[in-house]
A and B are shown apart, each in its own frame.
Chain A
Amino acid sequence: MANIISDETIEYVGILAKLELDSEEKEQAKKDMGRMLDYIDKLNELDTEGVEPMSHIFPVNNVFREDEVRNGDGREITLANAPERKEDCFVVPKTIV
């Protein structure tokens, strides 16, 4: 395997991805990612010098509209999905200590 994923890299990616992996999952993730990157490295065979990266197939522009309320009051139905709520608020763990 050409791409060796270090413990630090997996740790760092876990932080970016907001995922907590146990040690077994970490080992598996290292293997999976290394193997996938080996495969992905195939792209290096391609000469892409001077090629413009294409994020959209069609030319897209920002879609502007007036800032008017178009939907009705969805407060109850929205909050009904909250894992935890208090009156009209979502409850989250304390963020400022």
Chain B
Amino acid sequence: MSLMSLTAVRLGEKIKNREVSVLEAVQAALDAIEAKEAEVGSFVTVDREGALKRAAEVQELIDKGEIESPVAGVPVAVKDNMCTKGLLTTCSSKILGNYIPMYTAEAVLNLEKAGAVIVGKTNMDEFAMGSTTETSAFGATKNPWNTGHVPGGSSGGSCAAVAAEECPYALGSDTGGSIRQPSAFCGVTGIKPTYGTVSRYGLIAYGSSLDQIGPVAKDVTDCATILEIISSYDSKDSTSVKREDYNFTSALTDDVKGMKIGIPSDYFGEGLDGEVKEAVLNAAKELEKKGAVIEEFNLSLVDYAIPAYYIIACAEASSNLARFDGVKYGYRTENYNGLHNMYKKTRSEGFGAEVKRRIMLGSFVLSSGYYDAYYIKALKTKALIKKAFDKAFEKYDVILGPAAPSTAPELGQSLSDPLKMYLGDIYTISANLAGLPGITVPCGISSKKLPIGLQLLGNCFKEKNIIRAAYTFEQTREYVHSPLCIS
């Protein structure tokens, strides 16, 4: 059995108890990556040399008693939109194909301080724009449950790496569901925390008012533990929030007695796959057996979340991605005629089709004459959506639903119809608009042997409620390793 089949916390314990050395743990990850990458393709960059060097350093720090954290010495993979000093960071885009950051993202720095060893950077949809990891300029990642299917996106590489047991845990980022949806598709657990909880400093921006970094792992304990480590108030992120309580692991209790869980009936209507529906409702029953009070309710406005999201996210993206101009870093076109032509050709050659589509839409909705009709309208819709959630959370501690309307689609089926792909984000996107924390935990396997994910949403700053509910549900079910790990 590979060390990579352990959870991050279990492996961390073994390292602490001297049953396993940091080098052995890191070597196990590198071996697993070497064995599985050809099939799954989770990584853009594998930093073999850096990881081995760092393993020796961390071992020394542990031996000296200078690092004491639950994940000290445990290998981790980082989504390729988080800057890592001296290590290629591409956002899975040609335009950043040669970019070596001069600093490390705050969340990654927090992990490093806790003794984590980065083994590589994971593949993603280009600039996190996509739901399948197929828009990556470096090729698609495959789903470890069935390599004919996508892993979901945009953190598809991170989720596939964890499901394929190439590393025990990974960091992802979530702008419209990019941690929760691929976690569901890959049968792993992922958390998007409340907006402002994890610093965005060094996270290459897509939709700044929506982006949050979070952990992807095999279980809820790992996710809570890692979230506790990466969360911090950071003056370098102007929307960072100083929270009173970062003690997420204290919510790891098998107890939901009296917890009020609301099921939005509007999440279970047309478009939801029958098997997904059944698995998610069964999960609700399990929680009810454990003492939770389950009630159906009407959340409302669900159909308006996707249009509002695409206006806001694309508007912010068109502004954020203006920095890629071929001057300071990244790709520059070879032949050009003057400055403006250089900008245009660099960007047109450097960005992929989906990124260009979103920049165009964003530029349009922000343009004079359309700004009020689209952008302001979307911000007003966002206010109404937030209000609908506020009202729901007056009654419920947790909102329970599916993470995605179906299981992972086949490779090559999604990109030809972007709008259809966007509609797949229906259950995850509202949490970003309203800033809410959300967690996905595996809750079943379809007849086609693909994982199904349960999503739990909490009110802002109430991660503990969803962690407690997710942990309690998790106790009713064994973790199922993906077929790629068993062979």
Contacts and interface: CB of A to CB of B under 8 A. Distances in A.
Contacts of A45: 304
B195 A57 contact: yes
Interface stretch (B33-41, B105-113, B360-368, B439-447): B360-368
B239 interface: yes
A74 B102 contact: yes
Interface residues of B, number: 68
Interface stretch (B21-29, B145-153, B223-231, B371-379): B371-379
Interface string B330-350: 111000101111111101100
A59 to B, nearest CB: 11
A54 to B, nearest CB: 4
A95 B340 CA distance: 9
A48 B380 contact: yes
Contacts of A63: 235, 238
Contacts of A18: 322, 325, 340, 343-344, 347
Contacts of B239: 56, 58, 60
Contact of A80 (B100, B343, B377): B100
A40 B377 CA distance: 10
B291 interface: no
Interface in B57-80: none
B386 interface: yes
B457 to A, nearest CB: 14
A46 B238 CA distance: 32
Residue of A25, A51, A82 with most partner-chain B CB within 10 A: A51
B332 A36 contact: no
B contact patch SS: helix
A19 B380 CA distance: 30
A82 B328 contact: yes
A86 interface: no
A5 B326 CA distance: 29
B259 to A, nearest CB: 24
B384 interface: yes
A5 to B, nearest CB: 9
B303 interface: yes
B311 interface: yes
B367 A16 contact: yes
B303 to A, nearest CB: 7
A47 to B, nearest CB: 9
Contacts of A71: 103
A21 interface: yes
B209 interface: yes
Nearest to B312: A55
A25 B303 CA distance: 30
A97 B360 CA distance: 30
Contacts of B338: 93-94
A90 to B, nearest CB: 6
Q: How large is the interface on A (under 10, 10 to 19, 20 to 34, 35 or more residues)?
A: 35 or more
B435 to A, nearest CB: 4
B308 A43 contact: yes
B53 interface: no
Interface string B85-102: 000000000000011101
Contacts of A39: 306-307, 419
B336 A51 contact: no
A57 B328 contact: no
B434 A57 contact: yes
B380 A93 contact: no
Interface in A1-39: 9-10, 12-14, 16-21, 25, 29, 32-33, 35-36, 39
B449 interface: no
Given A12-B367, A58-B435, A77-B102, A46 B381 contact: yes
A39 B306 CA distance: 9
Which of A19, A55, A58, A78 gathers most chain B CB within 10 Å?
A19
Contact of B344 (A19, A51, A94): A19
A69 interface: no
B382 interface: yes
Nearest to A14: B360
Interface of B: 98-100, 102-103, 195-196, 209, 235, 238-239, 241, 301, 303-304, 306-308, 310-311, 318, 322, 325-332, 336, 338-345, 347-348, 351, 356-357, 359-364, 366-367, 374, 376-384, 386, 418-419, 434-435, 460
26 contacts: A13-B367, A17-B360, A19-B348, A36-B361, A36-B418, A41-B307, A43-B311, A46-B304, A46-B384, A51-B383, A52-B383, A53-B383, A58-B241, A58-B435, A62-B238, A63-B238, A74-B102, A77-B102, A81-B100, A81-B330, A82-B328, A82-B329, A83-B329, A83-B332, A93-B339, A93-B341
Given A40-B374, A54-B380, 13 more contacts: A13-B360, A16-B364, A20-B347, A36-B418, A39-B419, A42-B303, A42-B304, A46-B381, A52-B380, A53-B382, A78-B102, A82-B328, A94-B338
Interface of A: 9-10, 12-14, 16-21, 25, 29, 32-33, 35-36, 39-46, 48, 51-58, 60, 62-63, 65, 71, 74, 77-78, 80-84, 90, 92-95
